[in-house]
A = this chain, B = another copy of it.
Amino acid sequence: MRRPLIRKLEKFTRLSRADKEMLVRIAAQRVRRFAAREDIIHEGEKPEFINLINEGWACRYKTLEDGRRQIIAFFLPGDLCDLNVFILKEMDHSIGAITPVSVSEISRAAFDEMMIGHPRITQALWWESLVAAAIQREWTVNLGQRDALERMAHLLCELFIRLDAAGCTSDSSCEFPLTQTELGETLGMSTVHVNRTLQELRASNLIVLKDRTLTIPNLQALQDVALFNPNYLHLDREGRHLDANEE
């Protein structure tokens, strides 16, 4: 359950002992904790570090002048915020904690060190950032083409599979800390409609969601209603199946 980043990167490539030690060392350097709803970094600030989420859930979000808020991405354990952000002069969005989180700050120097001596890690981090981009694209498809039910189902599939890759599921269940308001801000729908939609998924026995725990009794069935195709997560190293689960 520890070291979700390593666990995730190994979905892409094998890492040597030295690679893993490097990652552990980097992640231990500057650790910060944030309370739920606290901002990790705010729009307009100068980014100085790459953030790595060790524990808890966070999100990117953006607020329009008139107060509407959109959640743009979720960061789960093992997720990195943006490689090389420090190139930009200021953040164009904020990153906030959803649950209490533990975050490692990676400095420019530490990052460069890692990129130079460890080609395996470099490759793996490139992969992780290409996947993050693919996820963002899929969200565009989700918001543009799918209706409320499909959209919700799609999000739940994605989160579940990503959590699984980070080693944060057990059987068909995972922690699920999002409120209906946050789901609405993510999927571009009102809380009322989020509620209706969740009811509908529950009524079809596609999900059980209670006490911050999500259970998906039949993932394939949920994927079917979502028109969910996991290829964009680029998780299979050798074309093997997700649940081959060989560690």
Interface residues of A (CB under 8 A from B): 60, 62, 64-66, 68-70, 72-73, 82, 84-85, 87-90, 92-93, 123, 126-127, 130, 133-134, 136-141, 143-146, 185-188, 227, 229, 231-232, 234
Complex Cα distance, B43 from A234, in Å, reads 13
25 interchain pairs (CB within 8 A)? A60-B137, A62-B141, A64-B146, A65-B227, A65-B229, A66-B227, A69-B145, A70-B140, A70-B141, A70-B144, A70-B145, A72-B137, A73-B137, A84-B130, A87-B123, A87-B126, A88-B127, A88-B234, A90-B231, A92-B134, A93-B137, A136-B137, A136-B140, A140-B143, A143-B143
Given A93-B137, A139-B140, A140-B72, A145 contacting B64 (CB threshold 8 A): yes
How far is the CB of A56 from the nearest CB of chain B, in Å? 21
- Chain B residues with CB under 8 Å of A64's CB are 141, 145-146, 227
- Chain B residues with CB under 8 Å of A72's CB are 137, 140-141
How far is the CB of A19 from the nearest CB of chain B, in Å? 16
Q: Which of B70, B87, B146 contacts A130 (CB 8 A)?
A: B87
Q: How many identical subunits does the complex contain?
A: 2
B84 touches A126 (CB 8 A): yes
Complex Cα distance, B138 from A66, in Å, reads 16
How far is the CB of A142 from the nearest CB of chain B, in Å? 9
How far is the CB of A191 from the nearest CB of chain B, in Å? 14
Complex Cα distance, B65 from A187, in Å, reads 21
- Chain B residues with CB under 8 Å of A123's CB are 87
Which residue in chain B gives the minimum CB-CB distance to A233? Answer: B92
How far is the CB of A99 from the nearest CB of chain B, in Å? 22
Given A87-B130, A227-B65, A144 contacting B82 (CB threshold 8 A): no
How far is the CB of A123 from the nearest CB of chain B, in Å? 6
Complex Cα distance, B139 from A146, in Å, reads 15
